[in-house]
Amino acid sequence: MNWRKLMGAVSIHISPSIEMRLIRIESNIGKIGRKQKKDAEEKLENVKVNLLIFISKRFVMLDTNFKEYLDDEFGRIFPESQEEYRKLFKELGFGEVNHDFIEFWSTYSDEIYGKIGYLVDLAMDLEDFSSSQTEILRKNIGLPDNYFSLLNNELDDYILYDKNTDEVFLVEAPTIQKFIENKQFSKHWENFEYFIKDYLNYNA
């Protein structure tokens, strides 16, 4: 598939530097000898493969078996509430990279018990954002705006979701300032789906 069509199909934008690199490789292919042309085509193919890997990591949706497990374990909230929460997350700046995060919290909004303790009922917590756990941490300790607090505030440690990357971090209370300043953490999950499955001890 042409890389431009690929980007359009998933409605994302690549950085200008990556786009220029792809264009430069394509334009050079027609100007060089056979061996160099083969090398350039291989290089372009490698870039496309890496692009597909990036997309698969960032835009994978919660799988059907896991959603069935969640339905049985927690049950879905009312459709009207689901729609209201999706609008709420959109207003807070969440987008495509947060698809699984939005789907989970809009569908199964509740206090969720897992390995460390209870996750806060996030969608409900964010409805009154000024009094939310996240806003309190931003005011009290300077938590950057891209992070949202997931762990119930009755517990000492922090589970922080990065809205920009879909990553999740476990941070012990004594090291929270080191996380803010140098991103020092105790555990890291590459995306929200990996986190929530691990947190719930889910095995497909």
Tell me, yes or no, whether 204 lies in a domain. no
Q: What integer pLDDT is reported at residue 153 of this predicted model? A: 83
**Rounded Cα–Cα distance for residues 96 and 102 (Å):** 9
Q: What integer pLDDT is reported at residue 177 of this predicted model? A: 96
Question: Exposed, middle or buried by CB within 10 Å (0-12, 13-18, 19+), for 199?
Answer: buried
**Rounded Cα–Cα distance for residues 165 and 163 (Å):** 6
Residues contacting residue 5 through CB under 8 Å, at least 6 positions apart: none
- pLDDT tens-digit readout, 92-101: 999 999 999 9
Residue 69 and residue 146 in one domain: yes
**Rounded Cα–Cα distance for residues 149 and 5 (Å):** 37
State whether residue 120 is helix, strand or coil. coil
**Rounded Cα–Cα distance for residues 61 and 66 (Å):** 10
Nearest in space to 163 (alpha carbons), one of 148, 150, 151: 148
Greatest Cα pair distance, the chain, in angstroms, is: 67
CATH (domain of 76): 3.40.1580
Is the pTM higher than 0.85?
no
Tell me, yes or no, whether 108 lies in a domain. yes
What mean pLDDT comes out for the span 68-90? 95
Residue 136 and residue 110 in one domain: yes
DSSP code, position 78: P
Nearest in space to 107 (alpha carbons), one of 143, 65, 71: 71
**pLDDT more than 90, % of the chain:** 64
Judged against a pLDDT cut of 70, whether residue 47 lies above it is answered with no
Tell me, yes or no, whether 163 lies in a domain. yes
Q: How confident is the model at residue 154 (pLDDT cuts 50, 70, 90)?
A: confident
**Rounded Cα–Cα distance for residues 193 and 199 (Å):** 10
- pLDDT tens-digit readout, 11-34: 455 556 666 766 776 666 666 666
Range of 87's domain?
A: 64-199
Residue 54 and residue 77 in one domain: no
Phi first, then psi, for residue 104 (nearest 5°) are -65, -55
> What is the count of structural domains for the chain?
2
Residue 128, token pair as written in the block: 């009154």
Calculate the average pLDDT of the chain: 84
Residue 91 and residue 177 in one domain: yes
Residue 168 and residue 73 in one domain: yes
Residue 95 and residue 42 in one domain: no
Residue 39 and residue 100 in one domain: no
- pLDDT tens-digit readout, 103-132: 999 999 999 999 989 999 999 999 999 999
What is each CA distance from 133 to 54, 63, 124, 128, 197, in whole angstroms? 31, 29, 11, 10, 23
Residue 48 and residue 146 in one domain: no
Judged against a pLDDT cut of 80, whether residue 55 lies above it is answered with no
Residue 48 and residue 131 in one domain: no
**Rounded Cα–Cα distance for residues 60 and 174 (Å):** 34
Type of residue at 118: Y
